[in-house]
Amino acid sequence: MTDSKVFQIIAMDGGAAVGKSSTSKALAERLDLMHVDTGAHYRTLTFALLNAGAAPEAEHEIESFLKSLKLETMLQERSARLSVNGQIPEDHEIRSPQVNANVSKIAAIPAVRKSLFNYQRAQAKVAREAGFAGLIMEGRDIGSVIFPDADHRFFLDADEATRAARRAKEGLTDSIADRDKMDKARKTAPLICPEGATRVDTGHRTLEEVVNYICSLIQIQA
C-alpha cells in the first residue's frame, strides 16, 4: 500500500455543543491524526473583524479587510491552529460572549467562507508533511463542502438538554439554539448532515463510548 492510501481524512460535523471537539481530539490521539477545529477559524476571523471595527452587515468592507489578512498554520502538538498576521488569539478571546453572538452572522458571509476554503483544504497537505497518519477536521460543512471526498464522514447530534448542560458546565454564555438556527438557514454551506455521512448520537453515551463506537466504524469502513 502506498503512503497516500494509508493517509485518512475524517470529517466531523454537527451543531453547537454536540461534543465535536472532545470527540475529535480523542480520536486524533488514538489514531495519530492532526486535528483541525474550523469553528476556531470562524471565531478567529470574527474576533479580527470585530477588533477592526467591522460591522457584520458591511460585507464589502469585510471582503477587502479579509484580503489584507495573512492566514498561516501553527502546529501545537497535534492541533493545527490558524494564525492571522502571525498571531493566534487566546481561547478566551475567540470564545467570548461577543464572538459567540456574532460568529454565525460572519460565517454566513460568502466572502468569509471563500477566504477559508483553500486554507482548510490545504490542511491535508500540512498533516501529510508533518507525518501524521491522517487528518480529522471538525465543523459544519466539512463532509459536505470542504472534504466531500473524505474517507469517513460523521455527523454528531445530541438532545437539546444535554447540549445546554455541556455549555453551562463550561461556564460559557452561548446561545447555541440561535447559532444552530442561523447555521442551518444560511444559503452558503449550511449546517446539514451530508448524504452518506454516519449519524452518531452523543447524548446518551459517554465520550469514551462515542470514541470507541466511531473507531469501530472506521475499522469496518476501512
Cβ-proximal residues to 3 (8 Å cutoff; 6+ apart), any chain: 128
Give the residue among 124, 137, 114 at the shortest CA–CA distance from 189: 114
Using the minimum distance from each CB to ligand C5P, give the nearer residue, 42 or 47. Answer: 42
CB of 138 to ligand C5P, least distance (A): 7
For residue 39, state whether it binds ligand C5P (rule: CB under 6 A).
yes
User: Helix 176-185 to helix 97-107 angle, to the nearest 10 degrees?
Assistant: 10
Using the minimum distance from each CB to ligand C5P, give the nearer residue, 98 or 216. Answer: 98
CB of 82 to ligand C5P, least distance (A): 12
Q: Give the cell for residue 29.
A: 490521539
- Interface of this chain with ligand C5P, residues 42 to 71, rule: CB under 6 A: 42-43
Give the residue among 111, 115, 127, 106 at the shortest CA–CA distance from 70: 115
Site string for ligand C5P, 166-185 (x = CB under 6 A): -------------x---x--
For residue 163, state whether it binds ligand C5P (rule: CB under 6 A).
no
For residue 141, state whether it binds ligand C5P (rule: CB under 6 A).
yes
Q: Which residues, in sequence order, are bridge partners of residue 136?
A: 10, 35
Give the residue among 122, 138, 152, 147 at the shortest CA–CA distance from 217: 152
State which of residues 54, 103, 135, 150 lies at the interface with ligand C5P (CB under 6 A).
103
**Alpha carbon distances (Å) from 221 to 10, 149, 152, 198, 215:** 12, 14, 8, 11, 10
Residue nearest to ligand C5P (CB): 39
- Interface of this chain with ligand C5P, residues 107 to 136, rule: CB under 6 A: 107
Contact residues for ligand C5P, defined by CB under 6 A: 16, 38-39, 42-43, 103-104, 107, 139-142, 179, 183
